[in-house]
Amino acid sequence: MDYNFVAILIVVLILILYYKYKNRHEANSRSIIKLIDKGPVFVDFYAPWCQYCKDLKPEFDKLISKGVDGVEIKYFSAITQTPPPSVQISSFPTIVLFYKGLPIQYNGERKADHMEAWIKHVILTIDAAELNRQNAQKAQATAQTANTK
């Protein structure tokens, strides 16, 4: 058996796994649209040269590691790829939660715990508003039915 070949094969496999793991939280132009449609997704639109983006990375990585139930958390290089049309990037980093078709920009403190709390708050607020709207529609339909009898 050629040990050099086996060693090279092992190194190649390790590199493939490393790059696959390293980029698993990086969305691309195609995948970001699918993620937004599926939602919810929290995205850091960054520029590789941006110092503010580099400063955010450790906290965003903490958020990724901790996770938020039911929410995908991704990076997106807005320099090397085209951001979705629903995102207006005027500075870096631009952090956006996409939920039920709505892009909601995050402007809070750049700490993992703050971002997590904000995500949960926004989702609960939107869900509560939607539930209230549905209940109001049901009540209106019930009232209209009662009036026609």
pLDDT digits (tens, 9 = 90+) for 57-74: 999 999 999 999 999 999
Provide the CA 92 distance to its chain's centre, in angstroms: 16
For β-strands 102-106 and 72-77, DSSP reports them as unpaired
Residue 129 within any structural domain of the chain: yes
Q: What is the pTM of this model?
A: 0.77
Our count of domains for the chain comes to: 1
- Distance (Å, rounded) from C-alpha 45 to C-alpha 38? 18
Q: What is the pLDDT of residues 88-125, one digit of tens each?
A: 899 999 999 999 989 999 999 999 999 999 999 999 99
Residue 5 within any structural domain of the chain: no
Residue 92 within any structural domain of the chain: yes
- Answer yes or no: are the C-beta atoms of 72 and 18 closer than 8 Å: no
Return the active site residues. 50, 53
- Which range, of 51-55, 68-72, 78-82, 122-126, averages the lowest pLDDT? 78-82
Residue 13 within any structural domain of the chain: no
For Cα atoms 122, 127, 114, give the angle at the middle one, nearest 5 degrees.
20
